[in-house]
């Protein structure tokens, strides 16, 4: 019987890798204000999007498939005064509830207009989640919308969520992923003016989200309406000269409105960020300004066929080109190759409300990423001519780095998501997705051998990480979830399941290892086909009221993430061509990385619109990717030093407590205070740990140790002051205890002192403290009532604190050269102006 039920769930519906919602539901009840009776037949209209509904005989209503944003909602009924609610916020994947009481009247009176405030506690999400509006984003001193994640509890300043790696967070724009599937990281940024809202999940997330171990960030973009809107913004950080700047300038343009009133709407925006970087004084000796240039653009057309059917076409584009800076290369910076990454996406999206109880969204998208390192062809790379050192092997004074890359990723995705209201209590979500990949990477990368302490071994042959591959894997999945909302009892239950698959469509080298696993034999030309990978991921959540103003939340989930495709494919083409084994060899048979996470939280609303929460969380992760070095049974294959292959085996765990006190409503003061205590431990800190430890001749790590992003104690404070005269002051303070590093001293740079024992991350850096400030002043004009002029100041690191970024194994900040990058960036002040009309 259980098997039949389980199969039925998956016949119901399906979702894919990183699928996500962009719409929410508006529901509630309408009653007579005098008698308290529930009113049937009340008309509810959202004029901006030309949609609405009528109340049922029991006075209830539900409007599905509303795109995230803020709306005006109008209630009309014969014999009652018209009631208008402003600023009703619709969050993606969530329900917004209104309880309306209409004033009886037989006369045509003016509308009653009220403002809808957000609920103090969002009760229909069972994990730690933050719903951030586009208006909220302007309060923060950020360059990208996703930077706001670092201000939340349980997140480090670099973006590690609850003890996970930064690559374990899934980033989406309008429900479609924007990540580099070969090398990791977010590839596309959206102009902030385009963002209508964001969903940030730092705890468990529902089955519609996949291929992420630690967190989800979903950005929802604006949709045009019947009014033309424009935004022009610009700022700079070097208006008054001096050296305490990065020669940064930013420009942003936004426009939206109707092409055909009530039918066809447009949105367009472009953002340019140009900077000399913090190293501009050295960089200007070699290159023209700007050193780092980023262009982001977004465009969208939405066509309303009817109030039930909408079709959208959108494009998303990013172009980032830059040059890296390394202090040891400061006399030869043109020896570091230029880098560039471009991404472009086009998507066709259909949204259809079939009945009052069922709607779906279907999309077809094409996403292309292209990355390059170096100029010219491969023949320009100095393979046999390593760069030259001087000053007792301290600085690079000649030659160029032997790196060159051409990398392309083409992803074609079909996606379907449906929501079915099954009776008054059940909300069923289901979906499916399928992705075709076309991946190509051609890289030449040679690195001089170095000691653990960074000293080059100039007489040793270089390490060769070169690779050339083209593969076409496929991936997809299904999901189904039921959200049971027992309003009378105040209890919410969610339960669901994901099924995902990956077909690597590749073969791995035929390696045979000994029982000890440290010796391997390899026969050239022989290979083994990689197996089909699949993963089931159940998710469970619950929320229930306690006391008068409190709720208890519980969430348990199993999560997964496929390894980056570079880990699967790098180097194996060389083996297929019988050219021998490269320094690091890919493994198409890698299993998905898996984690199990649970949390329990208590949230309580206090007087003065204060909300407090106490959360305990724990996460265990297995099957993480690392490298294992083998000694070849046939030394002619890859030399006497052996070779490394990517393998699954490291383990990591994190646990902690988050305490948050927030005030989102208030005439004068709002803000948030959070404290996080967290342990983040594991057996490996990166996918290359095993390789480098073996190259350095150090004993392989087998113990669990604090990971480099283990911020044990973290305190974050945000205070927003609304001062009369339309002047806002926003202050952000962050403090955390020092993070781990490895103390393993050396006097020569080639061997440790007194034969000391190598223990990873056995010491900690000093504590970190930082204060940011953002101030805004608004100006309005009687002659131009629709315009708002904003003048703002944005100060990062207000106190010019010298916070330590890294320490070498001798406890020297910035290492032997006293590299300034050993400290985080000092004070930077940007002044800007924005005109909205």
pLDDT tens profile 46-76:
888 878 888 888 888 888 888 888 888 999 8
What does the pLDDT read at residue 161?
A: 94
> Is there a contact between 89 and 96 (Cβ–Cβ < 8 Å)?
yes
Q: Please choose, from the candidates 778, 783, 782, the residue with its C-alpha nearest in 3D space to the C-alpha of residue 835.
A: 778
Query: Does 246 score more than 60 pLDDT?
Result: yes
pLDDT tier, 576 (very low <50, low <70, confident <90, very high otherwise)? very low
Q: Cα 488 to chain center, whole Å? A: 37
Q: How far apart are CA 76 and CA 61, in angstroms?
A: 13
pLDDT tier, 697 (very low <50, low <70, confident <90, very high otherwise)? confident
90-104 residue pLDDT tens: 888 788 888 889 988
pLDDT tier, 524 (very low <50, low <70, confident <90, very high otherwise)? low
Mean pLDDT comparison of 37-46, 87-96, 448-457, 655-664, highest-scoring range: 655-664
Which distant-in-sequence residues (6+ apart) come within 8 Å of 545 by Cβ? 490, 491, 551, 552
Higher pLDDT among residues 658 and 667, named by residue:
658
Percent share of the chain, pLDDT over 90: 55
Q: How far apart are CA 155 and CA 217, in angstroms?
A: 13
Query: Does 715 score more than 60 pLDDT?
Result: yes
What does the pLDDT read at residue 640?
A: 44
CATH of residue 810's domain is 2.40.170.20
Strands (E), 667-726: 669-682, 705-706, 713-723
> Is there a contact between 317 and 344 (Cβ–Cβ < 8 Å)?
yes
| Mean of pLDDT values over 575-584 | 53
In the DSSP assignment, the letter for residue 188 is -
> Is there a contact between 400 and 380 (Cβ–Cβ < 8 Å)?
no
Query: Which residues are registered as beta bridge partners of 251?
Result: 234, 272
What does the pLDDT read at residue 387?
A: 80
Which distant-in-sequence residues (6+ apart) come within 8 Å of 721 by Cβ? 668, 669, 728, 729, 730
> Is there a contact between 431 and 15 (Cβ–Cβ < 8 Å)?
yes
Q: How far apart are CA 542 and CA 206, in angstroms?
A: 12
Say how many domains are in the chain. 1
Higher pLDDT among residues 782 and 464, named by residue:
782
Q: What is the span of the domain harbouring residue 336?
A: 129-836
Q: How far apart are CA 801 and CA 736, in angstroms?
A: 14
The CA distances from residue 723 to 131, 753, 785, in Å, are 25, 60, 22
Output the six-digit token pair for 424: 């008054």
pLDDT tier, 124 (very low <50, low <70, confident <90, very high otherwise)? confident
Higher pLDDT among residues 203 and 249, named by residue:
249
| Mean of pLDDT values over 580-589 | 75
Q: Please choose, from the candidates 388, 405, 494, 476, the residue with its C-alpha nearest in 3D space to the C-alpha of residue 442.
A: 405
Query: Does 673 score more than 60 pLDDT?
Result: yes
Q: How far apart are CA 574 and CA 578, in angstroms?
A: 6
Q: How far apart are CA 78 and CA 97, in angstroms?
A: 23
Query: Which residues are registered as beta bridge partners of 601?
Result: 553, 615
Give the residue carrying structure tokens 């171990």: 213
What does the pLDDT read at residue 521?
A: 57
Q: How far apart are CA 746 and CA 755, in angstroms?
A: 10
Query: Does 18 score more than 50 pLDDT?
Result: no
Q: Please choose, from the candidates 810, 788, 693, the residue with its C-alpha nearest in 3D space to the C-alpha of residue 744.
A: 810
What does the pLDDT read at residue 464?
A: 82
> Is there a contact between 706 and 763 (Cβ–Cβ < 8 Å)?
no
Question: Does residue 97 belong to any structural domain of this protein?
Answer: no
* pTM of the shown model: 0.88
The CA distances from residue 799 to 247, 543, 789, in Å, are 20, 42, 29
163-186 residue pLDDT tens: 999 999 999 999 888 989 998 888
pLDDT tier, 522 (very low <50, low <70, confident <90, very high otherwise)? low
> Is there a contact between 736 and 715 (Cβ–Cβ < 8 Å)?
yes
Q: How far apart are CA 682 and CA 353, in angstroms?
A: 47
Question: Does residue 476 belong to any structural domain of this protein?
Answer: yes
Q: Which helix (H) or strand (E) holds 251?
A: strand 249-260
Query: Does 389 score more than 90 pLDDT?
Result: no
Question: Does residue 460 belong to any structural domain of this protein?
Answer: yes
| Mean of pLDDT values over 478-482 | 95
What does the pLDDT read at residue 526?
A: 66
Higher pLDDT among residues 414 and 637, named by residue:
414
Cα angle for residues 331, 336, 338 (degrees, 5° grid)? 135
Which distant-in-sequence residues (6+ apart) come within 8 Å of 459 by Cβ? none
Q: Is 677 exposed, middle or buried (0-12, 13-18, 19+ CB in 10 A)?
A: middle
> Is there a contact between 499 and 478 (Cβ–Cβ < 8 Å)?
yes
The CA distances from residue 319 to 192, 271, 296, 375, 709, in Å, are 16, 11, 7, 17, 29
Percent share of the chain, pLDDT over 70: 90
Q: How far apart are CA 220 and CA 21, in angstroms?
A: 9
Output the six-digit token pair for 546: 């306690």
Question: Does residue 2 belong to any structural domain of this protein?
Answer: no
Largest CA distance in the chain: 97
What does the pLDDT read at residue 14?
A: 36
pLDDT tier, 505 (very low <50, low <70, confident <90, very high otherwise)? very high
Give the residue carrying structure tokens 């996500």: 20
In the DSSP assignment, the letter for residue 325 is -
Q: How far apart are CA 665 and CA 671, in angstroms?
A: 9
Output the six-digit token pair for 741: 């590093």
Output the six-digit token pair for 641: 């030093």
Question: Does residue 3 belong to any structural domain of this protein?
Answer: no
Query: Does 284 score more than 90 pLDDT?
Result: yes
Q: How far apart are CA 53 and CA 749, in angstroms?
A: 74
DSSP, collapsed to helix, strand or coil, labels residue 106 as: coil
pLDDT tier, 6 (very low <50, low <70, confident <90, very high otherwise)? very low
Phi, psi of 688 (to 5 degrees): -110, 10
- Please give the mean pLDDT across all residues of the chain: 87
Query: Which residues are registered as beta bridge partners of 426?
Result: 422, 484
Output the six-digit token pair for 209: 């989200």
pLDDT tier, 475 (very low <50, low <70, confident <90, very high otherwise)? very high
Q: Is 474 exposed, middle or buried (0-12, 13-18, 19+ CB in 10 A)?
A: middle
Question: Does residue 669 belong to any structural domain of this protein?
Answer: yes
What does the pLDDT read at residue 720?
A: 94
Q: How far apart are CA 156 and CA 431, in angstroms?
A: 33
């Amino acid at each position: 019987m259980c098997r039949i039920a389980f199969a039925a769930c998956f016949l119901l519906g399906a979702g894919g890798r990183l699928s996500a919602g962009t719409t929410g539901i508006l529901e509630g009840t309408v009653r007579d204000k005098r008698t308290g009776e529930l009113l049937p037949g009340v008309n509810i209209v959202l004029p901006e999007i030309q949609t609405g509904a009528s109340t049922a005989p029991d006075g209830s209503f539900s409007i599905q498939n509303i795109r995230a944003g803020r709306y005006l909602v109008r209630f009309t009924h014969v014999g009652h005064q018209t009631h208008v609610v402003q600023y009703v916020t619709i969050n993606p994947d969530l329900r917004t509830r209104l309880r309306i009481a209409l004033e009886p009247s037989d006369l045509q009176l003016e509308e009653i207009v009220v403002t809808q405030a957000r609920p103090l506690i969002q009760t229909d999400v069972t994990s730690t989640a933050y719903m951030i509006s586009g208006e909220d984003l302007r309060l923060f001193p950020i360059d990208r919308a996703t930077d706001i994640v670092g201000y939340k509890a349980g997140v480090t300043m670099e973006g590690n969520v609850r003890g996970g790696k930064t690559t374990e967070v899934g980033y989406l724009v309008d429900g479609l992923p924007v990540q580099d599937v070969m090398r990791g990281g977010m590839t596309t940024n959206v102009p902030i003016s385009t963002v209508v809202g964001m969903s940030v999940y730092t705890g468990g997330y529902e089955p519609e989200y996949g291929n992420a171990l630690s967190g989800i960030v979903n950005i929802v973009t604006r949709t045009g309406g019947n009014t033309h809107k424009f935004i022009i913004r610009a700022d700079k950080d070097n208006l008054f000269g001096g050296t305490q700047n990065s020669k940064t300038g930013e420009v942003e343009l936004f426009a939206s409105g109707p092409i055909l009133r009530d039918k066809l709407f447009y949105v367009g925006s472009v953002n340019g960020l140009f900077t000399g970087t913090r190293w501009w004084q050295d960089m200007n000796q070699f290159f023209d300004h700007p050193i780092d240039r980023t262009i982001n653009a977004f465009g969208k057309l939405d066509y309303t066929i009817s109030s039930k059917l909408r079709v959208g076409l959108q494009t998303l584009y990013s172009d980032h080109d830059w040059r890296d800076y390394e202090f040891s290369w400061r006399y030869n910076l043109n020896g570091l190759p230029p880098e560039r990454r471009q991404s472009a996406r086009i998507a066709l999206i259909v949204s259809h409300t079939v009945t009052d109880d069922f709607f779906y969204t279907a999309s077809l998208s094409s996403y292309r990423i292209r990355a390059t390192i170096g100029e010219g062809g491969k023949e320009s790379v100095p393979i046999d001519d390593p760069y030259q050192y001087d000053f007792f092997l301290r600085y690079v004074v000649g030659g160029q780095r032997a790196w060159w890359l051409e990398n392309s990723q083409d992803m074609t995705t079909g996606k379907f998501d449906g929501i079915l209201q099954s009776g008054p209590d059940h909300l069923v979500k289901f979906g499916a997705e399928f992705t075709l990949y076309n991946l190509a990477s051609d890289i030449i990368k040679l690195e001089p051998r170095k000691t653990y302490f960074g000293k080059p071994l100039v007489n040793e042959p270089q390490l060769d990480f070169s690779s050339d591959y083209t593969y076409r894997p496929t991936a997809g999945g299904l999901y189904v979830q039921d959200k049971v909302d027992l309003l009378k009892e105040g209890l919410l239950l969610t339960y669901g399941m994901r099924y995902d698959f990956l077909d690597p469509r590749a073969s791995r080298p035929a390696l045979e290892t000994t029982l000890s696993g440290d010796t391997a034999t390899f026969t050239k030309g022989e290979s083994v086909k990689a197996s089909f990978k699949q993963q089931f991921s159940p998710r469970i959540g619950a929320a229930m009221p306690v006391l008068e103003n409190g709720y208890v939340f519980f969430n348990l989930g199993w999560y997964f993430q496929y390894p980056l495709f570079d880990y699967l494919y790098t180097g194996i083409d060389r083996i297929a061509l019988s050219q021998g084994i490269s320094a690091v060899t890919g493994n198409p048979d890698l299993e998905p990385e898996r984690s199990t996470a649970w949390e329990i939280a208590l949230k309580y609303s206090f007087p003065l619109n204060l909300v407090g929460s106490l959360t305990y969380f724990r996460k265990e992760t297995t099957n993480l990717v690392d490298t294992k070095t083998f000694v070849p049974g046939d030394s002619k294959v890859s030399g006497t030093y052996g070779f490394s292959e990517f393998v699954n085996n490291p383990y990591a765990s994190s646990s902690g407590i988050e305490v948050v006190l927030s005030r989102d409503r208030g005439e004068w003061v709002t803000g948030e205070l959070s404290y996080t205590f967290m342990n983040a431990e594991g057996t490996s800190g990166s996918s290359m740990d095993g390789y480098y430890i073996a190259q350095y001749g150090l004993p392989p790590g087998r113990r669990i140790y604090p990971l480099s992003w283990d911020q044990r104690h973290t305190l974050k404070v945000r205070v927003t002051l609304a001062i009369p005269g339309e002047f806002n002051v926003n202050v952000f303070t962050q403090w955390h205890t020092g993070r781990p590093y490895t103390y393993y001293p050396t006097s020569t740079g080639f061997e440790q002192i007194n034969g000391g024992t190598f223990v990873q991350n056995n010491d900690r850096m000093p504590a970190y403290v930082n204060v940011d400030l953002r101030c805004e002043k608004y100006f309005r004009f009687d002659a131009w009532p629709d315009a708002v002029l904003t003048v703002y100041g944005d100060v990062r690191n207000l106190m010019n604190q010298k916070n330590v970024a890294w320490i070498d194994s001798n406890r020297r900040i910035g290492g032997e050269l006293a590299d300034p990058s050993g400290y985080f960036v000092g004070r930077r002040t940007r002044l800007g102006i924005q005109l909205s009309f």
